[in-house]
Amino acid sequence: MKVVAMILLIHVLASVALADNVRPAALQGVGIDQRLNQQVPLDLVFRDETGKPVKLSDYSGDKPIILALVYYQCPMLCTLTLNGLVRAMRMLSFDAGRQYTVVTVSFDLRETASLAAAKKSEYVARYGRSGAADGWHFLTGDESSIQSLTQAVGFHYKFDPQSGQYAHATGLVILTPRGRIARYFYGVEFSPRDLRLALVEASANKIGSPVDEVLLFCFHYDPSTGKYSLLVTRVLQLAGVCTVLVMGAFIGLTVWRERDSRLRT
């Protein structure tokens, strides 16, 4: 119960972004610093769920990437994060492995490929879509690669020797196909709408529909909250444009009808 209470407290502190000087000593330095538009080092080597060495560049190139930093034996928050992610993914019309890639990386250097394989089997089954096994990857790594990746995305955590667990924040990082940091989402529940918009933006509109482009015009990503909020001014602008187009079409139709009527007489 002590570990659970500590983990819940970490989540609360990360959500409200409290300053380090008001946190308990065990939580000093724990959190997520946004590093938007920074390049993630794609040459870092990890192990996939089969134990094979892989580079992050193996998963980059043509699709936006959802990066989830967790550890597989976490007693609560990491499971909640992955549960929230898979729920949001199931609400998307996009398919993992087709329109986007998911890379889950353990930041616990003690964890093995067998643990990663067990997690992959569980969550690919819960996702339940064909091709997911090729689009959702579960990695482990050594200290050097883990530290390089977590520092690059601003993910800060601490190991508690007494409990054998990690103090950490929770969230997702959205990367462009070339590995630049595009968006952050905090917490353990993720809005399917926000996740979709982030993937569309990270892909530079290479996925999605014209409706998504309209939504991106009307919604703005707020880095302070990690959410998309409605921009009333843009909605009014869009409404004004639509009104002008409708009026123009109506006037054009009226003129056409009058001209057609005169030609007939």
What CATH number corresponds to the domain at position 152? Answer: 3.40.30.10
In a domain, 208, yes or no: no
Using alpha carbons, select from 98, 104, 112, 111 the residue that is nearest to residue 136. Answer: 104
In a domain, 241, yes or no: no
In a domain, 265, yes or no: no
pLDDT at residue 113 greater than cutoff 50: yes
Coil, strand or helix: which one is 184?
strand
Q: In the structure, what pLDDT confidence band is assigned to residue 16 with cuts at 50, 70 and 90?
A: very low
In a domain, 239, yes or no: no
Cβ distance 150 to 156 under 8 Å? yes
- The reported pTM is 0.78
Q: How many domains does the chain have?
A: 1
In a domain, 228, yes or no: no
In a domain, 244, yes or no: no
What range does the domain containing 96 cover?
A: 2-203
In a domain, 248, yes or no: no
154, HSE (Cβ side, Cα atoms, 13 Å): 19
pLDDT at residue 43 greater than cutoff 90: yes
Coil, strand or helix: which one is 221?
strand
In a domain, 242, yes or no: no
